[in-house]
Amino acid sequence: MIKIYDNENGKFLGQIDEEELQFLIDELEEESLEDQDYYLNRDTIEMLAKKGGDMQLIKLLTGALGNRDGVEIRWSRS
């Protein structure tokens, strides 16, 4: 499984599977091949939902954002 964390405070947000991670990799911009973090805002999450993102993934990302304008998440394999 892939663990997702809030990059600002290190809080564990939840887990996703390999397919959900691949979806993020395919749809979001990475700065390098080793990049394991993404900046998200409401528009980005809405775009992911429209492109067919799994509802569990969209729910996790929406929860990570909360009331903030944006959030940086990071992932790691467990």
Helix/strand/coil for 66:
coil
64 contacts: CB under 8 Å, gap ≥ 6: 4, 6, 13, 40, 71, 73
Q: What is the pLDDT of residue 41?
A: 98
What predicted TM-score, i.e. pTM, was given to this entire model?
Answer: 0.90
23 contacts: CB under 8 Å, gap ≥ 6: 48, 52, 53, 54, 57
Q: What is the pLDDT of residue 51?
A: 97
Question: pLDDT per residue over 17-71, tens digit each?
Answer: 999 999 999 999 877 667 799 999 999 999 999 999 999 999 999 999 999 999 9
Q: What is the pLDDT of residue 14?
A: 97
Q: What is the pLDDT of residue 35?
A: 78
Indicate the pLDDT class of residue 75, thresholds 50, 70 and 90.
very high
